[in-house]
Structure 1
Amino acid sequence: MIFGFYAIVAAMLAVALALVLLPMIRRAREAGRPRQVFALALAIALALPIAAVGLYFAVGTPVALNGVPKQAPMNIDQALAELTQHLAEKPGDVQGWMLLGQTYGAMQKPAEARDAYGKVLSLDANNTGAMVGWAEADSVVRPDHTIDGRALELIERAVQLDATNQRGLWLLGISQFQHQKFAEAATTWQRLQPLLDPGSKVAQAVTEQIAVAQSRAGIAPTPAPGADVATGPALQVEVDLSPALKAKLAPGDTLFVYARAEQGPPMPLAVAKLAPTAWPVHVTLTDAMAMMPQHNLSSVQRAFIGARVSKSGQAIAQSGDLEGDAGVVDVADKNPIKLTIDKEH
């Protein structure tokens, strides 16, 4: 269906955003103008995908691959009219409103995008994607491009619901930096670090921003992730999926492997986010994967080890997710820890 293909296009927008922000982050560090650079980065990142959308409409829809004659070219205004008409007929379509918000964002209409995301939130108050989308659009609409008021409340709520929401953590850190809460910004971005591919340009850029925030806060820089892995805990976890549940695995599912304190807050001591393409999956949990530097594997003697296949891609458990655990283990244990995902949430 055309709406399914739109969803794929929407996913590409997030990739474009990450790629465009990198040079802007570096210039922010050098020039010391976080607000101006943030605004410019958002504007460019929203403009780039328009070319891809236009190319799609010039070529035709994916139905042509099945031998069906290619439809007449459709411009973005026609596609928008079709989507708007669909939503008028089915106003409860959450995914449709999400797509409308993303489309308005690509058309550089942040006020309309914010309204569309607001409609999503009226239908699904816990939709973290809409929370982040609303806040991001609102920051573009505001003359000073700050993330404040309801936008900040939504970002904080999104991160609370999904501790691995990368865009949410990034924007929360920006808001804290804008409000000169430099130490808090550094801590927030440190929570983002272990969710990024080690050695990637994005991870390097985030590390640089952490250094800037720590410098502004007047605190000593922390070692880069992985610097103390050799001396800290390293739990080797092997995760397998029960044969009875393999039929429930679907493309796009996300695997979370985590360790949390035996007693204490539910925030993970270490978490890995993976694409379950082959089983068993092997991962090593270390202090570099902590959500907060002070709340890591080294801070406890024993930890609960679990794994979950998330259907929504969010860290918080939802109905239909597949789960399993290895119980509580000693964090100094060097032996492989085996667990099987064998139940449905």
Structure 2
Amino acid sequence: MKIAFYIAAAAMIAAALALLLWPLMRHGRQARERSLGVFALALAIAFVLPLAAAGLYLMVGTPRALDGVARQAPPIDVNQALAELRAHLRQAPDDAQGWLLLAQTSASLGQSDAARDAYDQLLRLMPDNTVAMVGWAEADSMSRADHRIEGRSRSLLQRAVALEPDNQRGLWLLGISEFQLGRFEQAAATWRRLQPLLEPGSNVAKAVAEQIAAADARVGGTRAPASPASAATPVTAAAAAGPSLEVKVSLAPSLRDQVRMGDVVFVYARAEHGAPMPLAVARLDADRLPTTVTLTDAMAMAPQLNLSSAQRVFVGARLSHSGQAVAKPGDLEGDAGVVAVQHHEPLDIVIDRALP
């Protein structure tokens, strides 16, 4: 048994080395010296993964089966490793593999701004790198309070899928961008390009099919140009399959003199706990108040984060002077508090206070 374990452990190390080091080795001998720091970092990670697994087994498994294995895995300071990588990149700013490693590591740690900056450097060196294009767009979306994919992000995604038509992540994000912009027919068409690339019957394939159905259901159901979700849209058959919240929104008479031309109202629901990104949002002109909005899964800003993904949500409304979803001083707001997503009675929201 002991010999078999050692063979398995060796195989794990070999697999980890192959997965982590192959992109760096492919970088070639031309950048051998300036990629030394990146190579060392990847090498350390490759060895630490199986050692950490062995350490965990020692704690919760059968220690006798691991005689000869180190009792304690060497500690890893990720922040120190990243600091060393950044120092290396200051000395070798043209190390593309180093910037890619920094970008992907920062993104995995939730450091979206840092990931976007690193992808920017990679795009400086490799303008046609589709990984950098898609990574930049995703990091930019995650760094924004409204998580919208527009402007440069959208342009990069369009370019990425033009260069690489089977780029699954690029097609997925581009579809989200089109959905957010209310271009539901284009969103459905983009996701249909993605479908043949997915494993039939997989969870991802099912999720994409659901989003195509949601986009199809909204085609012709909103005014153009549409926003991420339109308050005027009726609840469609596809949306009715999931939860829906009917929200009556009005403005307190004492605040009517604070409404300006061009103001917009966002009616939204976000998870009681977790990310602040809305699970459903509707945008309408302030001059339409009072009005009634029905929030559904079809109004999600990101397809995988919708009302069906939560049990309880905070429902609110904000009158924005800037037209942006991000709250700013002077904006007006109100809320209905936290309710279950299966709540069936209409919710009343009175926008009755100004943000300091």
Instruction: Give the structure-1-normalised TM-score.
Output: 0.51
Choose which of 187, 209, 215 in structure 1 pairs with 2:172: 187
Question: Is 1:332 the counterpart of 2:342 in the alignment?
Answer: yes
Label 1:180 to 1:284 Cα distance change in 2 as closer, same or farther (>3 A).
same
User: How much has 1:169 moved relative to structure 2?
Assistant: 5.9
How far apart are the structure 1 equivalents of 2:149 and 2:159? Answer: 15
| Match of residue 209 from structure 1 | 190
Identity of aligned residues (%): 37
**Matches of 1:194 and 1:234, distance apart in 2:** 19
* CA deviation vs aligned residue, 1:62-108 (integer Å, no higher than 9, x gap): xxxxxxxxxxxxxxxxxxxxxxxxxxxxxxxxxxxxxxxxxxxxxxx
Assess if the C-alpha contact under 8 Å between 1:259 and 1:268 holds in 2: yes
Deviates more, 1:327-336 or 1:220-229: 220-229
In the other structure, the counterpart of 1:266 is 276
Q: Corresponding residue for 2:209?
A: 222
Cα deviation for residue 290 of structure 1 reads 1.3
- Of the three residues 241, 260, 265, the one matched with 1:250 is 260
Larger Rg belongs to: 2
2:302 is the alignment partner of 1:315: no
**Greater relative CO, 1 or 2 (CA 8 Å, sep 6+):** 1
Cross-structure match for 1:234: 244
Residue in structure 2 matching 1:157, options 125, 135, 140: 140
Which consecutive residues of structure 2, in runs of 5 or more, have no partner in the other structure? 1-115, 218-236
Distance 1:310 1:334 in 2: 28
Partner of 1:276: 286
Q: Sort the Cα spacing of 1:232 and 1:321 in 2 relative to 1 into closer, same or farther, 3 A.
A: same
Shift of 1:218: 4.7
Alpha-carbon offset, residue 144 of structure 1: 6.9
Superposition CA RMSD, Å: 3.4
How far apart are residue 337 of structure 1 and its match? Answer: 0.6
Q: Tell me by how many angstroms 1:266 deviates.
A: 0.7
**Aligned partner of 2:143: which letter?**
Q
Conserved? CA contact 1:236–1:335, under 8 Å: yes
Is the Cα contact below 8 Å between 1:258 and 1:307 reproduced in 2?
yes
Please state how far the C-alpha of 1:187 moved relative to its aligned partner.
3.4
Which whole-Å CA distance do the structure 2 matches of 1:273 and 1:168 have between them? 23
Q: CA deviation at 1:274?
A: 1.6
SS of match in other structure, 2:288: coil
Give a deviation string over 1:113-144, Cα, whole Å, max 9, x none: xxxxxxxxxxxxxxxxxx9xxx9xxx9x9997
Kindly state the Cα deviation for residue 250 of structure 1 after the two structures are TM-superposed: 1.2
> 1:45-84 alignment to 2 at 5 Å?
none
The gaps in structure 1 that reach 5 residues or longer are: 1-130
Q: How many residues align?
A: 204
Q: How far off is 1:243 after superposition?
A: 1.5
Alpha-carbon distance between aligned partners in 2 of 1:154 and 1:319, rounded to the nearest angstrom = 28
170-179 vs 150-159, which moves further: 150-159
Shift in CA distance, 168/143, structure 1 to aligned 2, threshold 3 Å: closer
Secondary structure of the residue that 2:190 maps to in structure 1?
helix
Q: Are the counterparts in 2 of residues 305 and 326 from structure 1 also a CA contact under 8 Å? A: yes
Give yes or no for contact 1:195–1:272 (8 Å, CA) kept in 2.
Answer: no
Instruction: Give the residue type in structure 2 aligned to 1:251.
Output: M
Maintained 8 Å contact 2:264/2:323: yes
- For residue 163 of structure 1, report the CA deviation from its aligned partner: 2.1
Change (3 A) 1:185 1:153: closer
- Seen in structure 2, the aligned counterparts of structure 1 residues 312 and 288 have a Cα distance that, compared at 3 Å, is same
Q: What secondary structure is seen at the aligned counterpart in 1 of 2:314?
A: strand
Paired letter, 1:210: W
**How far apart, in 2, do the equivalents of 1:299 and 1:280 lie?**
29
TM-score by length of 2: 0.49
2:305 aligns with 295
Q: Which residue of 1 aligns with 2:89?
A: none
Deviation at 1:234, TM superposition (A): 0.9
Point out the more displaced range, 179-188 or 283-292.
Answer: 179-188
Q: Distance in 2 between matches of 1:232 and 1:213?
A: 24
1:236, 1:336 within 8 Å by CA — same for their partners in 2? yes
Q: Distance in 1 between matches of 2:338 and 2:129?
A: 43
Distance in 1, Cα, partners of 2:148 & 2:286: 17
- For 1:13-52, what aligned pairs fall within 5 Å after superposition? none
